[in-house]
Structure 1
């Protein structure tokens, strides 16, 4: 039985309006081929870790002192060991661990707000990482190394190199990545098996909040209208999603074979 999204339309409509395009049908057709499911799940797993790492980078760079930054790195280390060094993942509830008293960095008024929103995001992304690992195990899909998509790198290439606009742009990029993730979970949910579809639906509210948090922080840090920058990243994001892509990944563009 296909998963219904009828209760999520009010949540999805702002995200669909924020993005510059919908996920192309050609990507959905390729992504839902049974033989491609292992690759998609592994890449999804990696994306959850990357989302947590991005939030940790933002906190360390802008919101906390050096010792607090070390505590954050220790928090995520078991997950990085599993992905990058293939060590056995003994996470032991690390995603919800108390990581000590984090000391805010002096001289940056937006630090506490970044810290508050990003800590919650990290906990949720690490939890999702573990959930995807469980799905892989249940389906007897071994974890394997998967190269990164061009997507995030393509967006980051547009980030300005002077503050505060570097931070503003990185936050806008975060908003688009989270919004696209939410949109793709919603598009995939009715097309995959019911168990996986329900899992994707369970992620919609947190992904939608992450997009809103990133965008809200970008506006706060900028202290001025950011519509022009949002429009620039919207166009770039849509270009990456709608152009031919040689790799199938969770955030990839149209499969090159289809586009040809």
Structure 2
């Protein structure tokens, strides 16, 4: 585990605050934690899909990707969702068999397709794994709006069209690296089943951050080190700041006003 985490810790500008870990390990936070984690896995897949369709795939291939992901979209956005039916479906019938064609107008299209397709498949698989754990614990799936962290990170993406993809890939690297770090931080405090599951996620999540970072450098004609450092500092600020809401990627839990009035921490 330490070997896997070494590059993650070297990449991130700060560690998760102890206050967040204490809040996350509280049994009363477990439902919220798993629901948000489930949403995060889905959003990670959707983000990679957007990047592929926006930059790397031709129009027909982009549509094929949407068709492949349709069962996930339907499950999430239909109000009368059936978790058991979704988890029991024949996944082999939903294999991505289309021969995806690169966007001929984007130089690095073919370079983006294999790593991002692999990432999407893994994130959807993790989504199903978390969903199955939730179902076994009678925790209902809920859609959750993006927290301050995700919106904050995207707010730092440049508006210059030439560098938007570079920045989005770097942001993706930080989100994946932070996920990996938090899986490791949480694992010792969770029950045996969840602890084993979170440790199992470390390998793929660690690779995801490195894939995103390599792609960011690939699509940039300039060295990205300065931009990586800038976005890393912003990411650390978001993680260390106080947050009113608890999320998988939130900052430090804010002290409630009523507690402050009583002189409690």
TM-score greater than 0.5 by the shorter chain: yes
2:68, 2:96 within 8 Å by CA — same for their partners in 1?
no
Larger radius of gyration: 2
Shift in alpha-carbon separation, 1:23–1:220, aligned structure 2, 3 A: same
TM-score, normalised with respect to structure 1 = 0.93
Structure 1 unaligned blocks of 5 or more: 1-7
Shift in alpha-carbon separation, 1:258–1:195, aligned structure 2, 3 A: farther
TM-score, normalised with respect to structure 2 = 0.91
- Mapping 1:152-191, distance limit 5 Å: 152-191=150-189
Q: Tell me whether 79-88 or 190-199 shows the greater mean CA deviation.
A: 79-88
Structure 2 unaligned blocks of 5 or more: 261-265
Secondary structure of 1:169 counterpart: helix
Aligned to 2:41: 48
Q: Tell me whether 108-117 or 36-45 shows the greater mean CA deviation.
A: 108-117
Q: Given the alignment, which residue of 28, 31, 34 partners 1:35?
A: 28
Runs of 4+ in 1 over 6 A off after TM superposition: none
Measured in 2, the distance between the counterparts of 1:238 and 1:97 equals 38
Aligned to 1:9: 2
Q: CA deviation at 1:72?
A: 1.0
Aligned to 1:228: 226
Q: Given the alignment, which residue of 96, 99, 109 partners 1:98?
A: 96
The number of residues matched between the two structures is: 253
1:95, 1:123 within 8 Å by CA — same for their partners in 2?
no
Q: Given the alignment, which residue of 71, 76, 82 partners 1:78?
A: 71
Q: Tell me whether 155-164 or 224-233 shows the greater mean CA deviation.
A: 155-164
1:95, 1:126 within 8 Å by CA — same for their partners in 2?
no
Secondary structure of 1:108 counterpart: coil
Measured in 2, the distance between the counterparts of 1:155 and 1:61 equals 19
Q: CA deviation at 1:223?
A: 2.8
Q: Tell me whether 77-86 or 22-31 shows the greater mean CA deviation.
A: 77-86
Aligned to 1:63: 56
The one-character-per-residue Cα deviations of 1:143-175 (angstroms, maximum 9, x if unpaired) are 223332111110111111223300000000000
Taking only aligned residues, the RMSD between alpha carbons, in angstroms, comes to: 1.7
